[in-house]
A and B are shown apart, each in its own frame.
Chain A
């Protein structure tokens, strides 16, 4: 980061606002929320200084526990001004290759899988014609368990399909980038047409085998669209009878004042250590897992 002139920053772990994403649950402490990612304040800094920044932050997510999940974990998050998500992928690969080489491991040329194409391929149907029923059919044809509670939640159905039929096939010996996410899963990324004229979210996820290592965006700069997405997520929280949380007005203000075109990514450091060490469970790379904290 120093060599590339990326400035180290520190942002607050406690905030008045929280992630509105209905799939991410913040811990509440008094009238504050522990951050689930430093992305909001970091985007505010990029908006204010128009410069490349990074930080290593401990972040907290309620309810996440498992082989690859611990409620408290470390993210290396960085932003590059003037880069899009595709260019940022090269940045990520270069960093990953360099870190792995320190440990005598090599990083082969990454594979790329398009989320929308993969779902379409498994379902045997054009992406924009796929509904939850088609995905349920794939599960029943392959004799795999499908939770009926998914109902009409197409994004949940696609996530499960990706996990069971696509990610499970990723190579254990090289990185795989998943790109071209459905527009409905844009989160904080721009939405644009890809070169097949499909409307997709400009984001990527980096996997190594089944291990998801990083999540990157060509960052959304439009304050109006960002506010609408936050409000939509709050509506979904109400529908799901989940705790409503305050959205980050500061981020909306920062976007209104102008965020330069940029791309940002968060890399899970505990997961990276899993990869490097070959350990089976995230508990094995933590001094004390949440269960023992």
Chain B
């Protein structure tokens, strides 16, 4: 993998720090007129998701991380691993629990997901921003409650729990924003 000099740093650049792949979130050039220049960065660890500050002496170089985002289709889960397929090459890859994180709550078979690969293996999985899911179970809403704007929990097949308006019924298809886990609308069939 190529090395990057601090003057090539920019948001989104993937670099190796302490053995883990990181992405640069922010970088700032700091230099007193007559003194040493530094590059102060905020970097996110792509394995843990943690963001930390990291300062470099300008001119230092850092190893790049072999990280790429790729669109893959979710196939199925065997309980331990989640299997994805590259729709062009039909190559299949499996993501473990760490890589999947909370994304498993929003995975629907055949959905296209963004899979972040590190050295060719899944490091993180982002579900589509919006998914449509059928409600597995929710308590019946009471008539006349629609005006109060109240909500109730609705349970999905994946284990996700979404707060829905009282008028939504079991078995109905709803649209969910996976970034917030919030109900967006009812899907008319």
Contact = CB atoms under 8 A, between A and B. Distances in A.
To the question of whether A and B form a pair in one complex, the answer is: yes
Interface of A: 21, 23-24, 63-69, 144-147, 149-150, 153, 155-156, 159-160, 162-163, 185, 187, 205, 212, 215, 266
Nearest to B32: A159
6 contacts: A145-B40, A147-B55, A147-B60, A150-B57, A160-B38, A205-B32
Which of A146, A150, A160, A162 has the most CB atoms of chain B within a 10 A radius of its CB?
A160
B29 A69 contact: yes
A160 B7 contact: no
Contacts of A63: 7, 37, 58-59
B81 interface: no
Contacts of B53: 144-145
A239 to B, nearest CB: 14
B34 interface: yes
A160 B55 contact: yes
A63 B29 CA distance: 10
B37 A215 contact: no
A212 B29 CA distance: 13
A236 B32 CA distance: 18
Contact of A185 (B31, B34, B40): B34
B187 interface: no
Given A65-B7, A66-B28, A69-B29, A187 B34 contact: yes
Nearest to A242: B59
Given A145-B52, A145-B55, A149-B57, A156 B36 contact: yes
Interface in B38-64: 38, 40, 52-60
A163 B32 contact: yes
Contact of B29 (A67, A147, A149, A159): A67
Contacts of A64: 29, 31, 37
B17 to A, nearest CB: 10
B34 A163 contact: no
A204 B39 CA distance: 24
Contacts of A160: 36, 38, 55
Interface residues of B, number: 22
A66 B30 contact: yes
A162 B32 contact: yes
Contact of B34 (A153, A156, A215): A215
B33 interface: yes
B31 A69 contact: yes
Contacts of A159: 32, 35-36, 38
Contacts of B33: 205, 212, 215, 266
Contacts of B40: 145
Q: Quick one: which of B30, B40, B52, B53 has the most chain A CB within 10 A?
A: B30
User: Which A-B residue pairs are the 10 nearest by beta carbons?
Assistant: A66-B29, A156-B36, A159-B35, A145-B55, A215-B33, A145-B54, A149-B57, A147-B57, A159-B36, A187-B34
A150 B60 CA distance: 10
Contacts of A155: 35-36
Contacts of A147: 38, 55-57, 60
Contacts of A69: 29, 31
Nearest to A240: B59
A65 B6 CA distance: 11
- Chain A CB within 10 A, most for which of B32, B52, B59: B32
Interface in B1-46: 7, 28-38, 40
